[in-house]
């Protein structure tokens, strides 16, 4: 498949990442089928795209009328068959759990066209292992966006052990057509490149606070004003979703060892459903 053969993109999952990826694809002119398991999830994702597009239009970051036109290219769906049967590329952005993703791929495999490429937005999980539940290991790769996708420039394009070079080429070209800067990740290791660095940083920030060595505000001030990151560690955790960072750490802990043990402070946030901006409360309050 070449870039020119791609017209329709299916995005599985309408959460923080899914709706953002759907928005990016629609802004680049693609027809987008955005699917989630419940009507309310898909509707919520659709409304967030609408909010974001209107914001971009208000600020002249897109042309007049472009918000409505772009939204018109997004079809919200619950039926998985309808979502993937005419898709040239399926980008999966469901929760960061190996079992959930494997179940989704088994279901999607039954409905997708043989030539469709599968790209997972996993933040950390093995691309090779996920590809092995499908019949298209060579046309399966990672396509990892960053939160919020509409604002973040980078996309990691990750090769699994079975991924064909041609698949990486076309997904890289697609990322560029989305207006992004892809970086190719040759080794399918837990957390790839960005999260191998970023998530331990957020975890270490949690340990500092958990052990009483610093406050959230002190840590965030230093990460923001001294290290020059655009957000403090805890602000970033709330932006990414504390459940996402926790699941990434759990997997890295399992695969890479004790240095990646999730801090109890983070576990507590997840248990209390204080997941960050998306639930209105995380390390900070958003209501």
Nearest to 283 by CA among 224, 215, 221, 199: 215
| Shortest spacing between CB 281 and ligand CAA, in angstroms | 18
The rounded Cα 273 to chain-centroid distance in angstroms is 19
Contact indicator for 119, 91 with CB cutoff of 8 Å: yes
Give the integer Cα–Cα distance in Å for 24 and 144: 13
Please name every residue paired with 182 in a beta bridge, in sequence order, or none if there are none.
Answer: 155
31 in active site: no
- CB-wise, 5 or 286, nearer to ligand CAA? 286
The contact set with ligand CAA (CB under 6 A) reads 52, 55-56, 123, 146-148, 150-152, 195, 198, 230-231, 236, 239-240, 244
Residue from 123, 126, 131, 245 carrying the catalytic annotation: 123
- CB-wise, 164 or 229, nearer to ligand CAA? 229
Nearest to 87 by CA among 77, 99, 96: 77
- CB-wise, 163 or 239, nearer to ligand CAA? 239
| Shortest spacing between CB 223 and ligand CAA, in angstroms | 11
| Shortest spacing between CB 193 and ligand CAA, in angstroms | 11
Give the integer Cα–Cα distance in Å for 35 and 76: 6
93-105 in b/e form (b: 16+ CB < 10 A) is: bbebebeebbebb
- CB-wise, 12 or 56, nearer to ligand CAA? 56
195 in active site: yes
242 in active site: no
| Shortest spacing between CB 231 and ligand CAA, in angstroms | 5
131 in active site: no
Residues taking part in catalysis:
123, 144, 156, 195
């Amino acid at each position: 498949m070449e870039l020119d053969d791609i017209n329709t993109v299916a995005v599985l999952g309408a959460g923080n990442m899914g709706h953002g990826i759907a928005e990016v694809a629609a802004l680049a002119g693609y027809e987008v089928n955005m699917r989630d398991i419940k009507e309310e999830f898909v509707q919520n994702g659709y409304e967030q795209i609408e909010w974001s597009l209107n914001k971009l239009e208000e600020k002249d970051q897109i042309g007049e009328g472009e918000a409505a036109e772009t939204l018109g290219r997004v079809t919200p769906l619950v039926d998985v068959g309808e979502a993937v049967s005419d898709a040239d590329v399926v980008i999966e952005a469901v929760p960061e759990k190996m079992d959930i993703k494997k179940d989704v791929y088994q279901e999607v495999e039954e409905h997708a066209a043989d030539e469709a490429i599968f790209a997972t937005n996993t933040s950390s999980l093995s691309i090779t292992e996920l590809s092995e539940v499908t019949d298209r290991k060579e046309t399966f790769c990672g396509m990892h966006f960053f939160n919020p996708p509409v604002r973040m420039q980078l996309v990691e394009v990750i090769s699994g052990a079975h991924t064909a070079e041609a698949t990486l080429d076309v997904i890289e070209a697609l990322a560029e057509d989305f207006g992004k800067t892809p970086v190719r990740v040759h080794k399918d290791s837990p957390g790839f490149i960005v999260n191998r660095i970023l998530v331990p940083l957020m975890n270490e920030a949690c340990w500092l606070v958990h052990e009483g060595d610093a406050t959230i505000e002190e840590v965030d001030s230093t990460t923001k004003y001294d290290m020059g990151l655009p957000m403090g560690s805890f602000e970033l955790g709330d932006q990414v979703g504390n459940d996402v960072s926790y699941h990434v750490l759990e997997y890295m802990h399992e695969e890479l060892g004790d240095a990646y043990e999730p801090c109890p402070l983070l576990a507590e946030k997840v248990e209390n459903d204080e997941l960050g901006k998306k639930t209105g409360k995380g390390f900070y309050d958003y209501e």
